[in-house]
Amino acid sequence: MESFGSFRRKFAPWDDPAAKPYIRFENVTKTFGDFTAVNDLSLDVFNREFFALLGASGCGKSTLLRMLAGFEEPTSGRILLDGQDLRGIPPYRRPVNMMFQSYALFPHMTVEGNIAFGLKQDGMAKSEIDARVGEMLKLVKLEQFAKRKPHQLSGGQRQRVALARAVAKRPKVLLLDEPLGALDKKLREETQFELMDLQYKLGLTFMVVTHDQEEAMTMADRIAVMDHGRIMQVATPAEVYEAPASKFVADFIGNVNLLEGAVEKAGSGEVEIAAATQGLTIRADTSKALSSGQNVWFAIRPEKIRIGREKPVDASFNAVEGELWDIAYFGDMTVFHVRLDNGDLIKASSLNAVRKVENPLTYDDRVWVSFDTDAGLVLTA
Amino acid sequence: MNTTWSRFNIASVVLGFAFLYLPIVLLVIYSFNESRLVTVWAGFSTKWYFALFNNRGLMDAAWVTARVGVLSASIATVLGTLAAIALTRYTRFRGRLLFSGMIYAPLVMPEVITGLSLLLLFVAVNFDRGFWTVTLAHITFSMCFVAVVVQSRLVTFDRSLEEAAMDLGAPPVTTFFKITLPVILPAVISGWMLAFTLSLDDLVIASFTSGPGATTLPMKIYSQVRLGVTPEINAICTILIAIVATGVIIASLINKRREVQRIRDEQAAFRI
């Protein structure tokens, strides 16, 4: 089996045909009037998985989460949690808890009061509640803020109170709606790792909704990329990035060059594509069965393209000449926009691994862009 | 920005305030008049205040007004709050627009018409007029004001607070009493105060719907004034002004202090 990128932990129940899914969406549809928010969607999530629903706003990801929490009922289809059909069970009887995008902290209660609220509803003994609240405060490092009201806390602290409140009841599943959306970039990056750590420590199943692909890629075991109420692909972050199922996913996640063309020569395991814009033929590896003349797209990530003044020696490489059109310097890397001689624009990025460069590339330079036959992906949809 | 006071500015402020407050100031001053004649100053005295407390008629009327006010304001607050919740929350029921329009209608309805129609209703159902009819009438018109006040707070209420409570295991009723009500409580209280004040100074509707033994203070004052203004009337009006002014000042001070505290807390939070 092929493997992509890097992975965090040996955890892949979705590859095990005997593994039983923990949360199961079965042909779930949700309509609001004429608008279909979720369209005949099926999805399995496994116990202890960190699962991310990724998509643009309005793609149905939040609706999916709210149906699991019980705030919306599916128009058709069903949702199973640990084998139990959730239809008709009100939110206050579901063994899931949610962390809200706005945090939804109770403004008239202290931090302690907020965390204890759910425990009180279960009729837990006072001593037990105190112990659990203390434990939660310690977990999110807010011990000295126990008596504060939410408006006396900073954004990051509020986020942690919301998290502590949501996990205090030890739910079977924790739902997180844009958990880091309101934090600034630096804090967001730190908190991502804290969330992952917490999920691992508590051994819970996390289902997070986000529009931020970096967030999803960093935290999740698997990502579901959603669009218009449907799932476009469910896979590990590395698979989604390196082996996107469609043009949409390739374009949605990260940066990509998409070149349209027609199959010229289809062989076993490899293909030659004539780009729609004249004067460019691409040789690529593929496992797809393609027929001659078929319309396809060649997708290649900018960092998989080499750029230089010299033509590469290796004749098996695809190599094409062009002019340097634009340069975006990001510090850690530089993105070059190259106008090929046939008019196509290609993005190539390179890591700035050394500090000093002799004779750096600049505007209007004649350059060669080149890539190996397995650097890109042939897509048919 | 120009912050210096021109003569024109000073003049307009003085005139404006004089226009608003001169009659009230005169009334307060003459309530401390020694003389029985309202318009002739004969030295300072508080005797009319003592006389007032021995005036059974006025005292009875004040007691009726207080009871009607508290009872009608309380019931109107409950009903008005429920109406406000229904109108903000259930946005998709049939005839919602008609309902919310109907909530506002009594606010602009001439009091004479409200009073008359209530009178006709009470006569038609053969309801003896008295304390309860005044109270019912006051509930009817003041609950609309409460509904409007509470509704404007509910519009900015974050629904996810309630969802969070339910998510944490609280059934809808618990959620309402533990989360929704405490959060909107300031609006509910100001709704109550508004309803109480409206009931306190209503003359027209009370005149239509009241009966023997249930004369409210404004009715009593009005009927006495027709026989001539006595310093006692000035005294009771001064007391009413004092009550209303104290209420308004306390309410605004509480609001102000809460606001200042909130801003200070928020600033403190971001320094950590």
pLDDT at B2 over 70: no
**Options 3.40.50.970, 3.40.50.300, 3.40.50.150, 2.40.50.140; CATH of A255-379:** 2.40.50.140
B178 neighbourhood in chain A, CB within 8 Å: 117
B153 neighbourhood in chain A, CB within 8 Å: none
**Of A1 and A43, which is predicted with more confidence?**
A43
B179 neighbourhood in chain A, CB within 8 Å: 106
Contact B160 A102 (CB under 8 A): yes
* Range(s) of chain A covered by CATH 3.40.50.300: 13-251
A225 near B CB under 8 A: no
- Look up the pTM and report it: 0.82
Q: Is residue B252 part of a domain?
A: no
Separation between Cα atoms, residue A17 and residue B116, nearest integer Å:
79
Q: Is residue B234 part of a domain?
A: no
Q: Is residue B256 part of a domain?
A: no
What are the tens digits of pLDDT across the range B87-124?
888 777 777 778 778 888 888 888 899 999 999 999 99
Most A CBs within 10 Å: which of B167, B185, B258, B265, as the mutation test of the A interface? B167
**Of A84 and B264, which is predicted with more confidence?**
A84
Contact A117 B170 (CB under 8 A): yes
Separation between Cα atoms, residue B156 and residue A123, nearest integer Å:
32
Return the pLDDT at A328.
93
Contact B269 A151 (CB under 8 A): yes
B244 near A CB under 8 A: no
pLDDT at A6 over 80: no
Q: Which two tokens stand for residue B151?
A: 């509704």
Name the band, by pLDDT with cuts 50, 70 and 90, for residue B3. low
Give residues 36 to 95 of A whose Cβ lies within 8 Å of B: 69-71, 90-93
Q: Give chain A's mean pLDDT.
A: 91
- Of the candidates A70, A106, A118, the beta carbon closest to that of B179 is on A106
* The A96-99 sheet, strands edge to edge: A96-99, A173-177, A205-210, A50-55, A222-227, A230-235
**Of B244 and A197, which is predicted with more confidence?**
A197
Backbone angles phi, psi at A320, to 5 degrees: -145, 145
Return the pLDDT at A2.
65
Q: Is residue B12 part of a domain?
A: no
Report, as an integer, the average pLDDT of B162-175: 95
Give residues 165 to 224 of B whose Cβ lies within 8 Å of A: 165-171, 174, 178-179, 182-183
Separation between Cα atoms, residue B84 and residue B122, nearest integer Å:
27
The CATH number given to whatever domain includes residue B208 is 1.10.3720.10
> Nearest residue of B to residue A72 by CA position?
B163
Q: How many CB pairs under 8 A join A and B?
A: 75
Number of domains observed in the structure of chain B: 1
Distance from the first to the final alpha carbon of chain B:
35
B272 near A CB under 8 A: yes
What are the tens digits of pLDDT across the range B36-91?
877 788 888 888 888 888 888 888 998 999 999 999 999 999 999 999 988 888 77
Separation between Cα atoms, residue A175 and residue A166, nearest integer Å:
9
**Of A284 and B36, which is predicted with more confidence?**
A284
The 8-class DSSP code of residue A21 comes to P
State the smallest CA–CA distance between residue B177 and chain A in angstroms: 12
Residue type at position A317: F
ipTM of the complex: 0.85
User: What residues have CB less than 8 Å from A237, skipping those under 6 apart?
Assistant: A5, A216, A217, A218, A220, A222, A223
Return the pLDDT at B258.
73
What are the tens digits of pLDDT across the range A132-164?
999 999 999 999 999 999 988 988 999 999 999
Q: What is the dihedral of CA B121, B126, B132, B133, to 10 degrees?
A: 30
Domain that holds residue B63: 56-228
Separation between Cα atoms, residue A172 and residue A82, nearest integer Å:
9
Report, as an integer, the average pLDDT of B214-241: 86
Return the pLDDT at A250.
95
Question: Whose CA is closest to A206, among A162, A164, A175?
Answer: A175
3-state secondary structure chain B: CCCCCCHHHHHHHHHHHHHHHHHHHHHHHHHCECCCCCCCCCCECCHHHHHHHHCHHHHHHHHHHHHHHHHHHHHHHHHHHHHHHHHHHCCCCCCHHHHHHHHHHHHHCCHHHHHHHHHHHHHHCCCCCCHHHHHHHHHHHHHHHHHHHHHHHHHCCCHHHHHHHHHCCCCHHHHHHHHHHHHHHHHHHHHHHHHHHHHHHCCHHHHHHCCCCCCCHHHHHHHHHCCCCCHHHHHHHHHHHHHHHHHHHHHHHHHHHHHHHHHHHHHHHHHC
What are the tens digits of pLDDT across the range A234-273?
999 999 999 999 999 999 999 999 999 999 888 878 888 8
Bridge partner residues of A30 (DSSP): A38
Return the pLDDT at B271.
55
Range of weakest confidence among A330-339, B156-165, B194-203, B239-248: B239-248
Most B CBs within 10 Å: which of A101, A154, A183, as the mutation test of the B interface? A154
- Of the candidates B158, B166, B171, the beta carbon closest to that of A102 is on B158
* Range(s) of chain A covered by CATH 2.40.50.140: 255-379
Bridge partner residues of A81 (DSSP): A23, A84
Range of weakest confidence among A120-134, A302-316, B94-108: B94-108
pLDDT at A322 over 70: yes
CATH superfamily membership of A13-251 = P-loop containing nucleotide triphosphate hydrolases (3.40.50.300)
pLDDT at B197 over 60: yes
Return the pLDDT at A69.
95
State the smallest CA–CA distance between residue B193 and chain A in angstroms: 22
B158 neighbourhood in chain A, CB within 8 Å: 102, 104
Question: Whose CA is closest to A377, among A240, A213, A231, A218?
Answer: A240
Name the band, by pLDDT with cuts 50, 70 and 90, for residue B224. confident
Map residue A28 onto helix, strand or coil.
Answer: strand
**Beta-carbon count within 10 A of A279 CB:** 12
